[in-house]
Chains A and B, each alone.
Chain A
Amino acid sequence: MARQRKHPLVFWVSALPPSLWLFGFFLAPLAIVWVLSFGEKRGLIDVEITWTLANYVRALDPLYLGVVAKSLWISGVTTVLCLMIGLPVALGIVFAPGRWKPILLFLVILPFWTNLLIRTYALIAVLRTRGYVNFTLEWGADTLGLPFEPLALLYNNAAVVIGLVYVHLPFMVLPLYAALDRMDKLLIEAALDLGASQLRAFVTIVVPLAVPGIISGVILVFIPALGSYLIPDLLGGTDSQMIANVIERQFKRANDWPFGAALSFLLMYLTFGALAIRSVLAKGDGGLEAK
């Protein structure tokens, strides 16, 4: 690695274009939004930057605070569910016979490659009153001779959670797999040899070693879930609004750009806060990083 002074021409030629783009088409826009969050609406389109904190204060209004709280809650539940499903799945892949491992991993990540919108849309067909889940349940109930009431699985918080879990599950499985795969299987054998039961061995040996993977997975699920727009929009009901939906409304319908700007930045602060927590936790683990 050389200092940039050694070959100044090469350095500047390779540094200038991306830096200019980054600054002009990313950082500058963000800066403008930040400034905008301190503005007030004057009429239909005009905004005056008065450096007021009114927008941020308004964000703390119970109405909006409720949305934030709900977003945090939904993201949290999603993360927990992903963890509960993801851990056994990751374990299953780790302990699968060698040639199955890459296949299973591929199968887990393949859905991720399909468009988010399409995946969400596909879920609608599955979850709605006359959708596949209810069909199967109805068929099951009929076979067993039980009365059947279709489940309301769409246009409510449950649907949003199901959708978020559906979309983010691969992001939990992969880091867990990476962390668990590095684990020395002999450690479990040693525990069993010393007399621990399967469950005990699992809880005392496997779980602690999986912690870096768990941390990675939690962050990789929680943060995107927090900022998600499409899933609450398409799958949620009128009271399943999350932060991103409120922001969208400010720009597309309510036309209150300063307020939307303030909300955007609040979401960003939440995101960075979560990332900061992650770095702190990761360092506390002796730097055991699992990607």
Chain B
Amino acid sequence: MKVRDNARRIQPGPLEYTRQAWMRMILLATFVFLYTPIATLVAFSFNDSRRNIVWRGFTTKYYEKALANDGLIEAFVNSLSIAFVSTFISIILGAMTAFMLWRFRFPLKPLYEGAVTLPIVIPEICMGVAMLVFFARIGWPTGLPWPLNLGQIAIAHVSFSFPFVAVVVRARLASFNPEIAEAARDLGAGEWAVMRDAVIPHMRPGLLAGGLLAFTLSLDDFVITFFTSGPESVTFPVKVYSMVRFSVTPEVNAASTVLVVITVTVTALALWIQNKQSSEARG
């Protein structure tokens, strides 16, 4: 770190770009650009006016309206259900993938690794199209009762979520001390006991962070869900989309704010866990 003596505190030094006015202006302008839209959206969810432009007073009535909107609530419940199912399956599949890639060598491994990363890289619309065509082609049953009618969406969500979980868990496994597994074996543990007592405890923070990531990915998804959902299986973002297209009221703002709060909280939690695990003392 550089030491600055008091004499130079008045004028910023040549490298202290950030203390120069123009840099600060740029940063400020950028942050204003990034946050104004969201901030106004949240603010105007409390606006007592249908037209959403001029502030007319504080009210929570649009939140009440949103809560009373059956379609919206149903969509929200659908989104949560799908998110939980998708997260659960993604964690399991992602953990297996990460473990298998970390532990074993096998022929064509780079090809396999590429295939697992494909869902992350592929444009969302291509995946949405693939899911739509697939379910139509194989004649996936339609008109199933809730919650089975959410199956298509959940499957699609798992497909693009579990590689993310795998990436997170694999990063966590990279810091595993192999002597811990050897110690377990040395003390008498069989193969599965070593997994249970040495590897999985180490994976736990990665599983948690990966699971939270999968949860937000599922909750927020629009494009893929748009292609795999039907009139009977609407999710929250899809519902908000139709509201945006057809009637722009503060109700949409209210619903959006709720979604934003949920996602941000969950993601912050995931980040916090990851931070904690990276500063944990090594055994």
Q: Do A and B bind each other?
A: yes
Closest to A191 in B: B14
Could you say which of B24, B27, B129, B248 contacts A251, with CB atoms under 8 Å apart? B129
Q: Chain A interface residue count: which class?
A: 35 or more
B40 and A125 within 8 A (CB): yes
Taking the complex as formed, is A254 at the interface, i.e. its CB lies under 8 A from any CB of chain B? no
B121 and A275 within 8 A (CB): yes
A126 and B17 within 8 A (CB): no
A11 and B106 within 8 A (CB): yes
Taking the complex as formed, is B227 at the interface, i.e. its CB lies under 8 A from any CB of chain A? yes
A234 to B242, CA, bound (A): 11
A11 to B53, CA, bound (A): 60
Closest to B263 in A: A113
Least distance between B228 CB and chain A CB atoms (Å): 11
Given A25-B158, A125-B40, residue A117 in contact with residue B123 (CB < 8 A): no
Contacts of A7 in B (CB 8 A): 191
A261 and B36 within 8 A (CB): no
Given A14-B100, A126-B37, A267-B126, residue A25 in contact with residue B15 (CB < 8 A): no
Segment at the B interface, from A92-100, A143-151, A153-161, A208-216: A92-100
Contacts of A91 in B (CB 8 A): 17, 23
Contacts of A130 in B (CB 8 A): 53
Taking the complex as formed, is B78 at the interface, i.e. its CB lies under 8 A from any CB of chain A? no
Taking the complex as formed, is B220 at the interface, i.e. its CB lies under 8 A from any CB of chain A? yes
Closest to B129 in A: A264
B100 and A89 within 8 A (CB): no
Taking the complex as formed, is B124 at the interface, i.e. its CB lies under 8 A from any CB of chain A? yes
Q: By the criterion of a CB under 8 Å from any partner CB, how many residues of chain B are at the interface?
A: 81
Least distance between B126 CB and chain A CB atoms (Å): 5
B37 and A123 within 8 A (CB): yes
Given A95-B16, A117-B237, A122-B40, residue A271 in contact with residue B125 (CB < 8 A): no
Closest to B97 in A: A18
Chain B 118-138 interface mask (CB, 8 Å, partner A; 1/0): 110111111101111110010
Supplied contacts A85-B30, A117-B240, 18 more A-B pairs, CB within 8 Å: A10-B191, A15-B104, A18-B100, A22-B115, A26-B127, A29-B134, A33-B130, A95-B16, A95-B17, A97-B18, A113-B263, A115-B222, A118-B259, A125-B52, A227-B126, A230-B222, A247-B129, A267-B125
B positions within 8 Å CB-CB of A: 1-2, 14-18, 23-24, 26-27, 30-31, 33-38, 40-41, 44, 52-53, 92-94, 96-97, 99-100, 102-106, 112, 115-116, 118-119, 121-127, 129-134, 137, 155-156, 158-159, 162, 166, 191, 195, 216, 220, 222-223, 227, 237, 240-241, 244-245, 248, 252, 256, 259-260, 263-264, 267
**A-B contact list, 7 entries, CB within 8 Å:** A29-B134, A85-B30, A122-B40, A125-B41, A126-B36, A166-B33, A247-B125
